[in-house]
Amino acid sequence: MASQLLETSGGQAQANTPAPPGGKGNIGWRALPFLALAQFMVVLDGTIVNLALPRLQLEMGISDSTRSWVVTAYALVFGAFLLLGGRISDFWGRKRTFITASAGFAAASLIGGLAQQPWELIGARALQGIFAALLAPAALALLTVAFPGGKDRGTAFAIFGSISGVGAAAGVLLGGFLTEFVSWRWCFFVNVPIAVFALIGVWILVGESKAGGSTKYDWPGVVLAALGLGSLVYGFANAEHGWGAVESWGFIAAGALLLVLFVAVERKVQNPLLPLRVATERNRAAAFLASFLAGAVLIGGILFINFYLQIVLGFAPFAAGIASLPMTVVLIVTAGVAAKNLPRLGAKVPSAVGPVFMAAAMLWLTQVTPDGTYAVNMLPALILMGIGLGLVFVPMQNLALFGVDKDDAGVASALVNASQQIGGSLGIALFSAIAAATTAAATTTAAGGGPLAALTSGYSMVFLWAAGVAVLITPLALLLIRIDRKSFSGTSDTPHVHLG
């Protein structure tokens, strides 16, 4: 099939005798680092500014209520437009979309690094989110075309899937280093060479592929999805002013209604933005729900871990990044072990066990105190979190694309990324509101113990909620995942799903 062909390094399509998909000699293996690098970059940018926030806020005069939007603007726009990005990738061409999005992401990052006003910075973050919404599904869809089946597909997807956790954790370390020793602006500038490098690699190595059939866009679905998700996140973000305020519950209710309408529209239109067959297959649904909840814990939880390290324990930005390094190292090791054993473990075991470690990490963090120590209060939790994330993220990408029609590869890959980013933006908004309310209550009590004690009370409550969110993934994995181990690992010629 012409759409599945990869180009030679000289750029000529192998039209007559394509290499076996996913084979060791196949160009897919050479393209994988560039595709993974793009995924690494878009996930990295979800957390790279976290450690820069205190210094960035001071230099640019950003208020506490606006501060979280430096993170949320990226995650919200990314999540809201990922489904459209997936469809553009399918219809316009996955390679073309990847190249355009890489160039756009580099330009948006340059604008963010040069920003002089808060609105310029937040606008640049939103612009990054738009191009990330094009880039992420294009990268994963190209990977799907390059590795359509077999054992190598499982290996490639395990590598790609682990990038989600590694990128988010590495963003903390890199953001701390750049903020401490160069400038917080380099948290943006660093994307330019990464994007250009990924662009060149894909330009040279990867051939074009598109979906067949009708290529009409579902614009009502686009509008309803974007407005619904935007209203929902905005409502949670305003909850720090009180859940009874119309700015909170009004937007949350409006967002929920718009998303219900979105589902109704998708059931009726001929060319839906989100074909419900993609989202409702039970194994893929487990991956999407797990991605949503894990995103809330990862992106939202890490933000408050960094606040505790810098504001309460007094760590400098780079020291805080180094302090988070054990989570990254453990995640990489766990992901490698899990990927190697996926044919034996299947999808259900790591997806169900990983969240238990994540929840245990968050519960450990509920014991933080103003006079706590890194070794006692933080290190054990970071190790547990690394184990949990490594187990969850490895099977997620593969499971999300199991059995998906080639024409739906872009939208399916978009949905798993959208789930994580939407979960992250909602997690930040919800956790920020919880922290603000708990901190305010602790400040007004006679036994508050001062500002740091009040802040720590807020962080502790956030970690408790994050533990509750994480543990929800386990029963979902146990109840929904029915794909057997051989089919999941690509060792079975005929996919088989357990029905009981």
pLDDT computed for residue 494 by the predictor: 34
Query: Residue 19: how many CB atoms within 10 A of its CB?
Result: 15
Question: pLDDT per residue over 186-227, tens digit each?
Answer: 999 999 999 999 999 999 888 888 776 667 788 898 899 888
Those residues with Cβ within 8 angstroms of residue 290's Cβ, 6 or more apart along the chain or in another chain: 351, 355, 392, 396, 473, 476, 477
pLDDT computed for residue 175 by the predictor: 81
Q: How far apart are CA 437 and CA 99, in angstroms?
A: 44
pLDDT computed for residue 20 by the predictor: 38
Q: 237 or 395: which carries more pLDDT confidence?
A: 395
Q: How far is CA 16 from the centre of its chain?
A: 38
pLDDT computed for residue 8 by the predictor: 29
Q: How far apart are CA 49 and CA 298, in angstroms?
A: 14
In angstroms, the Cα distances linking 486 to 49, 97, 189, 319, 483 are: 41, 33, 44, 44, 8
The answer, yes or no, to whether residue 109 has pLDDT greater than 90, is yes
Question: pLDDT per residue over 392-446, tens digit each?
Answer: 887 876 787 777 776 676 677 777 777 877 788 788 778 888 888 888 888 776 5
Task: DSSP for 316-359, please give it.
Answer: -HHHHHHHTHHHHHHHHHHHHHHHHTHHHHTTHHHHHHHHHHHH
**Average of per-residue pLDDT across 91-111:** 93
Q: 247 or 109: which carries more pLDDT confidence?
A: 109
Q: Which helix (H) or strand (E) holds 234?
A: helix 219-237
Return mean pLDDT, the chain: 80
pLDDT computed for residue 186 by the predictor: 92
pLDDT computed for residue 426 by the predictor: 80
CATH architecture of 20-217+271-489: Up-down Bundle (1.20)
The strand ranges marked E within 406-486 are none
The strand ranges marked E within 240-310 are none
Question: pLDDT per residue over 357-366, tens digit each?
Answer: 999 999 999 9
Two tokens, residue 329: 């190292």
**Average of per-residue pLDDT across 65-88:** 79
* Residue 96 CB-density burial (10 A; 0-12 exposed, 13-18 middle, 19+ buried): middle
The answer, yes or no, to whether residue 99 has pLDDT greater than 90, is yes
Highest-pLDDT range among 13-17, 96-100, 154-158, 408-412? 96-100
With tokens 């939407």, the residue in question is: 422
* Residue 275 CB-density burial (10 A; 0-12 exposed, 13-18 middle, 19+ buried): buried
Question: pLDDT per residue over 148-187, tens digit each?
Answer: 766 677 677 777 766 766 776 677 778 888 888 888 899 9
Is the alpha carbon torsion for 491, 40, 358, 293 positive or negative?
negative
Q: How far apart are CA 290 and CA 425, in angstroms?
A: 15
Grade residue 83 by pLDDT with cuts at 50, 70 and 90: confident
Grade residue 61 by pLDDT with cuts at 50, 70 and 90: confident
> Domain spans of the chain?
20-217+271-489, 218-270
pLDDT computed for residue 21 by the predictor: 38
Provide the whole-model pTM: 0.74
Q: How far apart are CA 37 and CA 201, in angstroms?
A: 10
**Average of per-residue pLDDT across 243-260:** 84
DSSP one-letter code for 4: G
Q: 276 or 158: which carries more pLDDT confidence?
A: 276
Lowest mean pLDDT among 35-39, 360-364, 366-370, 448-452: 448-452
pLDDT computed for residue 16 by the predictor: 32
